[in-house]
Structure 1
Amino acid sequence: MAAVNRVFAAQLAGLPVFGPDGESIGKARDLVAGLRLDHQPPRVLGLVVEVSTRRRVFVPMLRVTAIESNAVTLATGSVNMRRFHQRPNEVLVLGQLLDARAHLASSGARLTVVDAAMEPTRTRDWVLAKLAVRQPRTGPLKLTGRRGGLQVLSWEDVSGLGLADLGTQPQGAGQLLMLFDTMRAVDVAATLRDLPLKRRHEVADAMDDEKLADVLEELPEDDQKELVDYLADERAADVLEAMSPDDAADLLGELGPTEQTRLLELMHPDESGPVRRLLAYSSDTAGGLMTPEPIVLAPDATVAEALAHIRNPDLTSALASMVFVCRPPQATPTGRYIGCVHFQRLLRRPPAELVASVADTDLPPLPPAAPLAELTRYFAAYNLTCAPVVDTRDHLLGAVTVDDVLDHLLPDGWRETGLRDLDPATPASPDSPAESDHA
């Protein structure tokens, strides 16, 4: 282990993890500590590392040989690939200790945990020796230093961080959300799944509707339904409005008819209308998989306007790969569908040229009833990432993207198991005794 005297947990979040020869293992996502019955500092058991398949695995601290400001190095490139599962006596330092409410042991003054630092011992163990805390500004000043300022205290100086306390007392989520701001929605979703149910609900309560909507779209169906059931109906409807219509329709399609109807009625008509239209189609057809919000332009729009729409950072790369040319109205279902233009063709045309003059009118559109097998053949045959869905009256209804097709082709539960488990030919890493003991 490199000579390091103190490492704060928040500094580890997201650091790349490498093997001894520089091979990439994944990213550090959390620390696992074992809480004690006495008031001694908890022993740090290991790291939660997210590997390339987005699976989160446990790496014992004995495997860690160096912790630097920009990376973590392991003694071996072989890790146990079994998914990390938290034990009853363990705490996730970032997931559960951050924002925890505690007390100054000497006076009982209220504190909020902002970060935790681990330090090495003479036996090569690591313990959570220090806590960075902040005192609520409304409380009486008990700590030295500026009112409301940060203080670094020894673990023994702080009380109220036992398993029973963390499992029952209310807890904020401000510090954890600050970490989430640096992570993709899919990574936040994976972190949320690893948290205990109480903590998961606290984090969901603290998120704004747009962020929670992004995270919900990346969660497995069972976790989506659990969170929607937890949220108040009005909040659930607001989050559904913030989701893309196709993802909202997929989620509502998993709910019972009564709950589905109740949430749709609470949504704004402009937001619920596209979702209702998607629910009218089977989920494994072009109509059920499409998004009703592709880029749609009038025939007199210019290439420059089309490129400006493609630059919208809120669009996925698949949706941004193609624009569709239709007669007014441009909202789906549109007026008569004319054709589509791939963004590469737009890049090769003069900015002032009209999109109608460069539209591909020969590409056959998909009917809304096209089954999944037909969709896969269509995308393979035409080498597309986005395709138009048009009804019998030549109205553009939406667009299907290749990621939605892949989502339905993969086995149920692929988000939980990770992509590695889908390939039976991939060899498993050998288990070390320490790793096997934790799995």
Structure 2
Amino acid sequence: MSATRVFVARLAGCTVFDPAGDRLGKVRDVLVVYRRTESPRVVGLIVEIPGKRRVFLSIGRVTSIGSGQIITTGLINVRRFEQRGGEVRVIAEMLGRKLDFNDGSGEATVEDVAIEEVGPGEWQVAQLFVRRPKTGGSPFAKGATSFALWRDVVEQTKGGEAQSAEQLIATYSDLKPADLASTLMDLPQARMLEVAEELPDARLADVLEEMPESEQVEILGQLGDDRAADVLDQMQPDDAADLIAQLSGERGEALLSLMQPEEADDVRMLLSYEPDTAGGLMTTEPIIVSADATVAEGLALIRRQEMAPALGAAICVTLPPYEPPTGRFLGMVHFQRMLRYPPHERLGTLLDSSLDPVTADTSAAEVSRILASYNLVSVPVVDDNHRLVGVVTIDDVLDYLLPDDWRSHDGDDEKRTPTRFPERTVPVPTKRPVRIGARRRAGNGTQ
């Protein structure tokens, strides 16, 4: 081994390679089992392979850990990971736990866990990196940190006491919303709800947009009405509308009354459309500019970091006002066309005359046909007065067409069993929206 002691939090996100240097996946957690008199034994790693599938990698198949990468024997069980009784995930379940020192010196919180190799293919928990409660009155003060051996501490098991999720959230801070959503859904239910409650409003909104509706409803059900409304305010209007539609009429109306008026109005409008129509699929916050706006101004809007790619692919040009429902819709300008013209060129001269908008009652099937026939990533939606009310993007259509459980579907229809090592082990193959004057972020956090 190139390293005999490593900290688990530093392993999160490390790339796993086979002996030939081909990338197999990324580490998402470390799995241990408790023992009566000794430190917990490491049984393996939870690795995310292509397709966002979480699989188990036995620690005995790891040949090297070091320099931010892990080398394996090249063979990996590609069945979806299922946690067994007695197994504990270090990042998901140990970090943030409170401990008491056996010598009576007080309590501490686990911030990291060091594992070490004690024999060929055998690893165990070596030390805990812990933080004591702060002693000063300053809000910026932090408690002292220290290392502790497993035998020197005991975990607190007070009934009903919530386990801190702060350290877990910090560990996953760099994950994209879709990856964080996948990670949360892979946690035990109680831990998933606890972590969701601790996420900032905007971050939780991004994550909820990437989850199936059943998980969205479950998490929102754990939040108080004021917090739930704040999170809905941060979501894309179409995603918020889809979520509210899954709630009881009484809870949905209560949350709408607590949301920001402009956000609630957008959501109410979307709820008035049938879900299988363009109005039910669209987002109400595309990029909207006047005909006098220049190429330079248009490019500045679409290059915003928070801009979703599908919405940044084209800009809508209308008469005033420039918030849906706008003045008369004039047309769209695709970003590739903007790249072919000088910065001072007016967008009103670059309209795509071949693209006709759809109406809000156009069927989802027809919208899908238009996007496929003309190789588009978005199509504008207008009302009876030809005013722009929103756009339907390709991701909205895919969400509608794919099965409800597509986010957790791994492409393998074979019935899975919790068997850790099947008879055959195979190698893994290598290899929403901004308008001028918008109030806050738009888009779903896609980079």
TM-score, length basis structure 1: 0.90
1:384 and 2:357 aligned: no
Change (3 A) 1:259 1:209: same
Quote the Cα distance in structure 1 between the aligned partners of 2:412 and 2:234.
32
1:45 and 2:43 aligned: yes
**Shift of residue 109 of structure 1?**
0.9
Amino acid at match of 2:43: L
Q: Could you say which structure has the greater relative contact order, defined with CA pairs below 8 angstroms and 6 or more residues apart?
A: 2
Work out whether residues 60 and 435 of structure 1, in 8 Å CA contact, stay in contact via their aligned partners in 2.
Answer: no
Quote the Cα distance in structure 2 between the aligned partners of 1:435 and 1:183.
32
Q: Which residue of 2 aligns with 1:65?
A: 63
1:331-342 correspondence runs (5 A): 331-342=323-334
What does the per-residue CA deviation read over 1:176-225, in whole Å, with 9 as the maximum and x for residues that have no partner?
22222211111111121122233223222221100110111111111111
Count, aligned residues = 418
**Shift of residue 80 of structure 1?**
2.5
Change (3 A) 1:366 1:235: same
1:111 and 2:103 aligned: no
Quote the Cα distance in structure 2 between the aligned partners of 1:281 and 1:80.
46
SS in 2 for 1:262: helix
Amino acid at match of 2:57: V
Instruction: Extract structure 1 runs of 4+ deviating beyond 3 A.
Output: 430-436
Q: Which residue of 2 aligns with 1:413?
A: 405
Larger proportion of helix: 1
Quote the Cα distance in structure 1 between the aligned partners of 2:421 and 2:170.
35
Work out whether residues 60 and 434 of structure 1, in 8 Å CA contact, stay in contact via their aligned partners in 2.
Answer: no
Quote the Cα distance in structure 2 between the aligned partners of 1:130 and 1:255.
46
Q: Name which of structure 1's ranges 168-177 and 58-67 shifts more when overlaid on structure 2.
A: 168-177
Q: Which residue of 2 aligns with 1:81?
A: 78
Q: Which residue of 2 aligns with 1:177?
A: 169
Amino acid at match of 1:216: L
1:25-424 correspondence runs (5 A): 25-36=24-35, 38-77=36-75, 79-122=76-119, 124-138=121-135, 148-160=143-155, 168-418=160-410, 420-421=411-412
Work out whether residues 133 and 144 of structure 2, in 8 Å CA contact, stay in contact via their aligned partners in 1.
Answer: no
Change (3 A) 1:123 1:305: closer
SS in 1 for 2:30: strand
What does the per-residue CA deviation read over 1:36-91, in whole Å, with 9 as the maximum and x for residues that have no partner?
3x2421111111111111121111111211112221122124x3333222223121
**Shift of residue 285 of structure 1?**
1.7
Work out whether residues 338 and 361 of structure 1, in 8 Å CA contact, stay in contact via their aligned partners in 2.
Answer: no
SS in 1 for 2:13: coil
SS in 1 for 2:28: strand
Work out whether residues 2 and 66 of structure 2, in 8 Å CA contact, stay in contact via their aligned partners in 1.
Answer: no
Q: Give the share of equivalent positions with the same residue, in percent.
A: 45
**Shift of residue 112 of structure 1?**
0.7
**Shift of residue 11 of structure 1?**
0.9
Which segments of 5 or more consecutive residues in structure 2 lack a partner in the other structure? 426-447
SS in 2 for 1:403: helix
Which segments of 5 or more consecutive residues in structure 1 lack a partner in the other structure? 140-145, 425-429
Work out whether residues 212 and 404 of structure 2, in 8 Å CA contact, stay in contact via their aligned partners in 1.
Answer: no
Q: Name which of structure 1's ranges 209-218 and 377-386 shifts more when overlaid on structure 2.
A: 377-386
**Shift of residue 148 of structure 1?**
2.7
Change (3 A) 1:306 1:237: same
Name the Cα RMSD after superposition.
2.2
1:20 and 2:9 aligned: no
Q: Name which of structure 1's ranges 91-100 and 130-139 shifts more when overlaid on structure 2.
A: 130-139
Work out whether residues 16 and 71 of structure 1, in 8 Å CA contact, stay in contact via their aligned partners in 2.
Answer: yes
What does the per-residue CA deviation read over 1:273-305, in whole Å, with 9 as the maximum and x for residues that have no partner?
111111111222211111100000011111111
Quote the Cα distance in structure 1 between the aligned partners of 2:212 and 2:53.
13
Q: Name which of structure 1's ranges 377-386 and 320-329 shifts more when overlaid on structure 2.
A: 377-386
**Shift of residue 110 of structure 1?**
0.9
Quote the Cα distance in structure 1 between the aligned partners of 2:53 and 2:187.
14
Quote the Cα distance in structure 2 between the aligned partners of 1:341 and 1:124.
59
Amino acid at match of 1:148: G
Amino acid at match of 1:41: S
Quote the Cα distance in structure 2 between the aligned partners of 1:412 and 1:147.
45
SS in 2 for 1:121: strand
SS in 2 for 1:318: helix
TM-score, length basis structure 2: 0.89
What does the per-residue CA deviation read over 1:223-275, in whole Å, with 9 as the maximum and x for residues that have no partner?
11100111111111110000011111111112222221121111121111111
